Amino acid sequence: MDHFGYIRGEFIPCEMCGSSAVDIHHIECRGMGGTNKDSIENLMALCRGCHLHYGDKKQYKELLNERHQEKIKR
């Protein structure tokens, strides 16, 4: 939250759909061979629906990473 300037309780948009983010997703999760566990480059805010739809599925990893990299460059 600090990296993006959010404060506790503030609306945080899902990085995929823009609705309210309630989950933090590890793009490179350990279960899929990732090692960069808790860095800002590896953590993205998702709503529950997007987390269930996109999370931990190899076919979406590149899309999630691209979207997140755009967000952290701002």
CA distances to 21, 32 from 46, in Å: 5, 19
Q: Is 24 helix (H, G, I), strand (E, B) or coil?
A: strand
Give the β-pairing of 43-46 and 23-26. Answer: antiparallel
Q: Phi, psi (5° rounding) for residue 62? A: -65, -45
Instruction: From 44, 32, 46, select the one nearest 68 (Cα to Cα).
Output: 44
When pLDDT is averaged across residues 3-15 and rounded to a whole number, the result is: 80
* Domain count within the chain: 1
Q: Is the per-residue pLDDT at 1 higher than 80?
A: no
Domain that holds residue 40: 1-74
Q: What is the pLDDT of residue 6?
A: 72
User: Looking at the chain, how many residues does it have?
Assistant: 74
pLDDT band at 4 (very low <50, low <70, confident <90, very high): low
